[in-house]
Amino acid sequence: MRASALKDDVSFLLARANALSLSAGHAALAPFNLRVRSYSILALVADDIRPSQRDIAEHLRLDPSQVVSLIDDLQTRGLVKRDPDPTDRRTNVVVMTDEGRELFRSAHDAVRAAERDLHSHLSPDQRERLSELLLLVAFPD
């Protein structure tokens, strides 16, 4: 069964690997009341890049309209806030609050632990190479 036409199909392997990773991620994030997508936004904002909602949408491959409600939720919970961009009154810049930073730190640890667990059968070298190759595929530019 493993040796089906799909087994050398990179798209299929990608889909299955991602499904496993998503499950593990959601399980790890549940205690923090975060989903993978809200966690990703926190991660993006955590670096003090001050991204606009548009930046977030593009980097996370989300529609701008989805970002609205995700940020709404995070803002309601006091984890991020919207700052007006002084140079363009149309755009909001998303920044992290102290509570957000703290929650993200714990969530980040949990995610890393889950990931380490999920890939425990890979050698450090294999993990490294996987990461490099995936970066190429995820950001082909």
Instruction: Name, in order, each residue with C-beta under 8 angstroms of 40's C-beta and a sequence gap of 6 or more.
Output: 60
- Shortest separation between residue 77's beta carbon and a second copy, angstroms: 20
Q: Which is nearer to DNA, 54 or 129 (CB)?
A: 54
36 counts as binding DNA under rule CB under 7 A: yes
Q: Which of residues 65-104 bind a second copy (CB under 8 A)?
A: none
CB atoms within 10 A of CB 77: 15
Contact 111, 28 (CB under 8 A): yes
Q: Which is nearer to DNA, 31 or 122 (CB)?
A: 31
- Shortest separation between residue 49's beta carbon and DNA, angstroms: 13
Q: Which is nearer to DNA, 46 or 68 (CB)?
A: 68
SS3 20: helix
Strand partners, 96: 80
DSSP code for 32: G
Each residue 39-58 as x (binds a second copy by CB under 8 A) or -, in order, gives: -x--xx-xx-x-x---x---
35 counts as binding a second copy under rule CB under 8 A: no
- Shortest separation between residue 113's beta carbon and DNA, angstroms: 20
How many residues would you count in the chain? 141
Per-residue tokens: 92 = 């909001």
Strand partners, 81: 95
91 counts as binding DNA under rule CB under 7 A: yes
Strand partners, 16: none
- Where do contacts with DNA occur on this chain (CB under 7 A)? 19, 22-23, 26, 35-37, 52-54, 57, 62-69, 71-72, 82, 88-93
